Every structure is written in structure tokens, then in C-alpha cells.
Structure 1
Amino acid sequence: MIFLILLLNLLFSDNDRNKSGVFSISRIQYGGGGDWYADKSSIPNLLKFISKNTDIITADDQQVVKIGDNNFFSSNYLYMTGHGNIKLTDEEIIILRDHLIGGAFLHADDNYGMDKSFRELLSEMFPEKELIEIPPSHELFNIYFEFPNGLPKIHEHDNKRAQALGIFHNEKLIILYTYESDLGDGWEDPKVHNNPEDLRQKALKMGTNIVTYSLVQ
């Protein structure tokens, strides 16, 4: 754990600080009609949890970016969620692809309803790459908190199992797609979904693992 903390401090100092010198998560505002803004309290709660439980200094809130804006290019940790359709222009697809290949990381969390359009987006952005399932043995599930069974199931929709799916470039995970888990719902304020506290803790701990892994991989 000491080695992990030292490594986090070293890598974090260069890669994922915003102008104020703290780690932040950039939520992508996309077109197509889907609610890119879903789970309003989720990211602030996750950042607070990470700050409290790790040595990572975090921002108090997310920043919202549009692909291609000035703030976008300084954002190395990107987040996307929603219930509906996602539509990017051809130019936005190229910009996002290049940014990810260049070192950025995208976590996409299916909030139920974005699966079809997100998979279509991936096939346009990376037609040469396959979206593969990440097994429970992967470091993503034990880098900080232990998840021996892999991605936790937070919110029930269609009685399907939760899956962590990824796209890799040069053996580095550049896109993580959490499907049928709904981590964002678990990060929300307790009163929003009335999730049991143990589920909220699982969601927040898994989110911490994702952030930590993105920084040290």
C-alpha cells in the first residue's frame, strides 16, 4: 500500500491535475438527446469519498466539457453517462479517439438506456478494436479495495449481470464501460434512490478503484 501511495503521488503530479492542482473528473456533454447530466450528485460524492479514503487531493465538483473545447484537452479523466441516445459528430469522434490514444481515460457508466448508442459510438471510434470483458482477476478489482467477484451490481434493471468491459490500446485500458451495474446511481445522495448503505459503499469503493487504476496503469 505504501508503494501504491508513492506511485499515485508521482503519477498524479503530472497527469491529472487541473489548474488548481487537484484531481478532477470531466463529464462529457454530448449531443443526441440523452441526459448527459444524469445523477447530478454522483461525481461530487465520489470525489469526496476518494479524498477522504485515499491520498488523492480532489476537486469539490466535476467540470463539464464539450469535446474539442479548451478544457477538454486538459482533461485526462473523462466520464460519460445517461439513459438515452449519444450522438457525436465525425469531428468529435476523431478528437475523442486521438485524446484517448494520447493518454486520456474514459469511464462510461450505463445509467440504463445508453447501451445501444454507446456501442455504436465505439464501433465508429475504434472499428479495429474489440470491447472485451474484464475478468474479476484483473487489477482493476483489487488495486485499492477488494472485489473478488468483479464489478458490483448496484441497481437492478433487467436481471442481467454487471459487466466491466474495456477497450485497450498498447495494453493500456483507455475506455472502461460499466454495464448493468449503474455505479452512478450508487454514488448519488442516499435519498435519491434509497439504495442500502452497503450498496452505496460498494459503488463508491469501485469508483475509487477505477480512478486509482486509471492513474497508475
Structure 2
Amino acid sequence: MNKLILVGILLLWNWGVSQEIAVAKYAGGGDWYANPTSLPNLVKFCNQNINTTLNTKVGTVEVGSAEIFTYPFIHMTGHGNVVFSANDVINLRNYLTSGGFLHIDDNYGMDEFIRKEIKKVFPDNPLTVIPANHIIFQKPYAFQMVCLKFTNTIISSHKLLGYL
């Protein structure tokens, strides 16, 4: 009986709870706040089309803060320099190896800087190119073509714990 009550409490606790996502705030002067409508638009699309319950209020979180662990998904964007402190590196590594997801959008000019900083986070785990036919581009919507604005743009990821 106690187990049944506990299950009921847990179900009620999670009923209607929405996930929160945030923009990552970082040092270096690279416009971490660029493109302020991108995440609200993503949230709206996901909630309407793939039945998520993402909170429409998008947070802001510093890469080196403990608060980062309250967000399952963080988004990073900008136009230039990115600098991670030693604390940022450790915190971000812990966040990612604990199951957190970091989406990086090079809003032009960030690529060379973020690659150096990500190498600090995972020095023995290089970025891997994701091929256009990878399942991530097939579900739930199939991409017939990945449109690249700039020819040097590469969609890449870390293979972490055996997963892309």
C-alpha cells in the first residue's frame, strides 16, 4: 500500500511540470546574448509539434555555476571570443558527463574560439563530424538537405560514453 501511495505522489508531483532550457552565459565578449528569439521560437515549435512541455520562459545560466545542473538543455551562441575559466571547464565537463546537453550555434565568428575551449573540456575526446544521413537528422523530421550558409561550417559532436 505504501508503494502505491508513493507512486501516486510521484505521478502527481511530475504532472504538468515543464522542462526548462537556458542560454549559456560565458566570458570572452562573444555576444552570448545574441539571437534572443531563437530559443523562445524553438520552445514554441517543440511544444506545438512534438508534444513537449518546455517552459516558455527561457533562463540564462553561467557556464561555471551550479545552477547549470537545473537545466537539461543549454544553448550557446555568439559572434566571437569564448573563454572558459578553469572552474567553467570542470563544471561544464561535469554537466555534460552527467547527462546535460549543450547546443552550440556559431552565429558566425565563434567557431575557432569554441573549438579551443571545448578541447579544454574534453582534451582526449575530439569533436566528430556528424554525417548528413545520421539518425539525428531523420527523426522526427527528415532533413533532405542540411543547408550550410558558410562552406567551412561543420556539424559536429563529441562521442561521449559511446553516444553522439
**TM-score interval for Structure 1 and Structure 2 normalised by the shorter chain:** 0.7 to 0.9
Query: Matches of residues 120-131 of structure 1 in structure 2 within 5 Å?
Result: 120-131=116-127
- Counterpart check, 1:39 vs 2:30: no
CA distance in 1, matches of 2:159, 2:57: 28
Partner of 1:49: 45
Counterpart AA for 1:26: A
Partner of 2:147: 152
CA deviations 1:79-118 (Å, max 9, x no partner) are 1000011111111101101110111111101000111110
8 A contact 2:30–2:79 mirrored in 1: yes
How much has 1:77 moved relative to structure 2? 0.7
Which one has a larger percent helix, Structure 1 or Structure 2?
Answer: 1
Where 1:108 maps in the other structure, the secondary structure is: strand
CA distance in 2, matches of 1:116, 1:82: 12
8 A contact 2:24–2:61 mirrored in 1: yes
Partner of 2:139: 143
How much has 1:162 moved relative to structure 2? 4.2
- Counterpart check, 1:94 vs 2:85: no
Counterpart AA for 1:168: K
8 A contact 1:83–1:111 mirrored in 2: yes
Give the unaligned 5+ runs of structure 1.
1-16, 174-217
Match among 28, 39, 43 for residue 24 of structure 2: 28
Equivalent pairs counted in the alignment come to 151
CA RMSD in angstroms comes to 1.9
Give the unaligned 5+ runs of structure 2.
1-13
8 A contact 1:94–1:125 mirrored in 2: yes
Match among 130, 133, 139 for residue 134 of structure 1: 130
Q: Flag as ranges the 4+ runs of structure 1 deviating above 2 A.
A: 67-71
CA distance in 1, matches of 2:41, 2:78: 18
Partner of 1:195: none
CA distance in 2, matches of 1:64, 1:36: 10
Identity %: 33
Query: Matches of residues 1-217 of structure 1 in structure 2 within 5 Å?
Result: 21-149=17-145, 151-153=146-148, 156=149, 159-160=150-151, 162-173=153-164
Counterpart AA for 1:167: H
Provide closer, same or farther for how the CA distance between residues 66 and 121 of structure 1 changes in structure 2, counting only shifts above 3 A: same
8 A contact 1:152–1:162 mirrored in 2: no
How much has 1:23 moved relative to structure 2? 2.3
Where 2:159 maps in the other structure, the secondary structure is: strand
Higher-Rg member (1/2): 2
8 A contact 1:43–1:61 mirrored in 2: no
CA distance in 1, matches of 2:142, 2:119: 32
Output the TM-score relative to the length of structure 2.
0.84
CA distance in 2, matches of 1:70, 1:128: 24
8 A contact 1:24–1:58 mirrored in 2: yes
